[in-house]
Amino acid sequence: MIKLFGIPNCDTVKKARSWLNENSFEYEWHDFKKQGLSTEQIQTWINAIGWEALINKQGTTWRKLDEVSKQSVVDADSAIRLMLANPSIIKRPVLMSGQQVQVGFKPEVYQQLLTR
C-alpha cells in the first residue's frame, strides 16, 4: 500500500502526485493540513529516517520561526511537537510504501522504491 502525505498546493507534492498517476501507481492521499497528523505517524517516519530529515529548514515556515523555537528543536520529541504545531514545517511529500519512507520527490527514487 502506497500512501502519500503532503499539502495539495505544494509544487513538489503536485509533481509527485502527477508522477504516481502517470505511472499508474495507486496510492492513498493524506492532506495533513486538513486531516492532521498524529504523534504516532510522525514517530513512524522518525523511526525510519530520523527527525532531521523531516524538518524543512529551507522553507518559509522555518524562516518565520523565532530563534528560540528554532533552537528548541534538539531531539525527536521536540521535533514532533514542532511538526504537530506547524505541519508546514515537514518536508514534502512524505511517501510510505510498506515500511519504506521517502521524503521529497525524485522520479528515479520513486521508481526504484516502488518497483522492488
Whose grid coordinates read 486531516?
35
Whose grid coordinates read 514545517?
89
Tell me which H or E stretch contains 22: helix 11-22
Tell me which H or E stretch contains 62: helix 60-64
Grid coordinates of 115? 518497483
Residues involved in catalysis: 10
Alpha carbon distance 70, 43 (integer Å): 20
The alpha carbons of the chain give a radius of gyration, in whole angstroms, of 14
